[in-house]
């Protein structure tokens, strides 16, 4: 029996090679792998000895040869195949151990030259893996060093590698190649995943989760190979394991605060911000966010876009949060927060990678793919449509409210005052209900606040209701067939209104 070994990751290689030899396998290997084996006392044939050709083109051509692929691809139950091997002097290969050049590790470096990336695109490896995986009923293919142990145990226990085992290994091999090729294509696409008629995504399993949204659902956490930062790659400094919904809520909070250039704090429940504020003084930003909805804040997810200070940590005493997120933490702040036995403390930076500007939604039978909503309409692009223009303070509140509305489930209504969210209505089937909810949650704080609507008002009734509670300014996209009626109603109540021309639905 012959085993062909060609690996980039040499973890466990010598031990596995030793067991193979002890179980009657003759080893064939490529340059670096052969050196590793022979340096550790194992006898191996170099691939060049099998093919009769030396490696070419700086190692670009090593295993691409009929003497290699013929030995892998021949069906053992086909007399014709086996006769052809014999007539050409080709030995059958029964086991292929191969993992690929470290393309992802190479391109994830801070500054990678294109030539370095191209030289780390494996050609011979994927070809061998595909050949072996295609012929898995007759050839065992191993791409993951984690599989060496159980395969070794079976070999040492005189157990055969079953057809079920072989099929699982082949499936894993094809996934390995698919992920590898996806990483390459995403790197070369420069982030434009909507370019072309085909799109692939690749994820590596980090760990299984206890369950999904509900206990009867199975779930796992994955990361994207070319991405860094973000919630998936966060460093947990303290706390119990995260759940499926924890990750969803944490990601929402993380994205919200990083949409603001100013120091920001947000508290999220069920992916919606129940509190959000900006302020140069971080403890004040936290206090304003908490006061947005103290009831809902209990057990919520708290996020900051600046390093968390000790003073802020002290100001949070007595309030339960499931997760606290920041790009960094002062040492004393961490010690204070570690007294919360269950609270997860996550340290993470802004997410980077080709998939960060994409929004993927799986559907029955397929998927939707769109660019993320990164639009940031500034006041100088707004159209003032009412008689009264917004004051400086109203402009500031409208700007804040408009950013906040983008992160709340539609139909979304946001009330904001002095750089803080004071009320919101989310996820309602009609906009007027969201207005009622926002005003009810704001209560007395509604008076003098600015209102943002993620889409146009189909009728003027929402403006009438807002005016009755003291709203003084409104920002919305515009575009309704009844815009004139809505504008007229705003003028009747001396409400200033601006149109952005851009909608911010979030379904």
Residue numbers annotated as active site? 134, 270
Among 438, 461, 459, 460, residue whose Cα is nearest residue 450? 438
Task: Answer yes or no: are the C-beta atoms of 329 and 307 closer than 8 Å.
Answer: yes
Q: Computed over its alpha carbons, how large is the radius of gyration of the chain?
A: 30
| CA dist., res. 184 & res. 121, Å (int) | 8
The CB-side HSE value for 409 (13 A sphere, CA atoms) comes to 15
Peptide bond into 102 cis (omega under 30): no
Q: State how beta strands 344-347 and 235-238 pair.
A: antiparallel
Query: Which strand (E) or helix (H) includes residue 2?
Result: strand 2-6
| CA dist., res. 237 & res. 223, Å (int) | 19
Among 468, 479, 435, residue whose Cα is nearest residue 453? 435
Q: By three-state DSSP, how is residue 145 classified?
A: helix
| CA dist., res. 116 & res. 114, Å (int) | 5
How far does CA 301 lie from the centroid of its chain? 18
Side by side, the strands of the sheet bearing 321-326 are: 235-238, 344-347, 321-326, 300-304, 264-269, 272-278, 420-425, 413-417, 450-453, 473-476, 496-499, 383-384
């Amino acid at each position: 029996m012959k085993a062909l070994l060609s690996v980039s990751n040499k973890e466990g290689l010598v031990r596995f090679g030793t067991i193979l030899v002890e179980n009657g396998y003759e080893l064939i290997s490529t340059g670096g792998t052969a050196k590793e084996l022979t340096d550790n006392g194992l006898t191996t044939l170099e691939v060049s000895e099998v093919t009769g050709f030396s490696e070419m083109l700086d190692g670009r051509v090593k295993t691409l040869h009929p003497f290699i692929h013929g030995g892998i691809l021949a069906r053992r139950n086909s007399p014709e195949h086996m006769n052809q091997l014999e007539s050409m002097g080709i030995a059958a290969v029964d086991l292929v151990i191969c993992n690929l050049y470290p393309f992802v590790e190479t391109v994830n470096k801070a500054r990678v030259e294109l030539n370095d990336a191209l030289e780390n695109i494996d050609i011979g490896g994927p070809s061998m893996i595909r050949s072996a995986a295609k012929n898995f009923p007759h050839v065992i293919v191993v791409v993951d060093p984690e599989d060496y142990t159980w395969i070794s145990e079976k070999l040492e226990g005189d157990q055969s590698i079953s057809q079920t085992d072989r099929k699982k290994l082949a499936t894993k091999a094809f996934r390995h190649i698919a992920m590898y090729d996806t990483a390459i294509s995403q790197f070369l696409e420069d982030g434009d995943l909507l370019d072309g008629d085909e799109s692939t995504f690749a994820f590596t399993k980090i760990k299984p989760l206890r369950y999904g949204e509900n206990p009867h659902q199975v779930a796992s956490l994955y990361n994207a190979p070319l991405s860094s930062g973000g919630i998936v790659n966060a460093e947990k400094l303290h706390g119990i394991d995260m759940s499926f919904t924890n990750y969803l809520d944490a990601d929402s909070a993380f994205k919200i605060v990083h949409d603001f250039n100013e120091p920001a704090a947000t508290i999220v429940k069920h992916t919606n911000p129940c509190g959000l504020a900006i302020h140069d003084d971080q403890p004040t930003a936290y206090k304003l966010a908490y006061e947005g909805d103290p009831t809902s804040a209990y057990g919520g997810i708290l996020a900051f876009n600046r390093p968390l200070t000790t003073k802020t940590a002290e100001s949070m005493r007595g309030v339960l949060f499931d997760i606290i997120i920041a790009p960094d933490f002062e040492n004393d702040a961490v010690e204070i927060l570690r007294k919360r036995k269950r609270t997860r403390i996550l340290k993470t930076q802004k997410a980077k990678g080709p998939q960060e500007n994409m929004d993927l939604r799986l559907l029955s039978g397929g998927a939707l793919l769109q660019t993320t909503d990164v639009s940031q309409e500034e006041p100088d692009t707004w159209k003032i449509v009412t008689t009264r223009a917004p004051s400086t303070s109203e402009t500031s509140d409208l700007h804040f409210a408009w950013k906040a509305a983008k992160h709340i489930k539609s139909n979304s209504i946001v009330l904001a005052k002095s750089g803080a969210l004071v009320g919101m209505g989310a996820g309602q089937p009609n906009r007027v209900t969201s207005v009622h909810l926002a005003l009810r949650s704001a209560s007395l704080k509604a008076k003098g606040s600015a209102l943002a609507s993620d889409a146009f008002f189909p009728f003027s009734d929402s403006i009438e209701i807002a005016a009755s509670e003291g709203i003084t300014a409104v920002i919305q996209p515009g575009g309704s067939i009844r815009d004139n009626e809505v504008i007229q109603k705003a003028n009747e109540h001396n409400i200033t209104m601006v149109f952005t021309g851009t909608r911010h639905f979030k379904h």
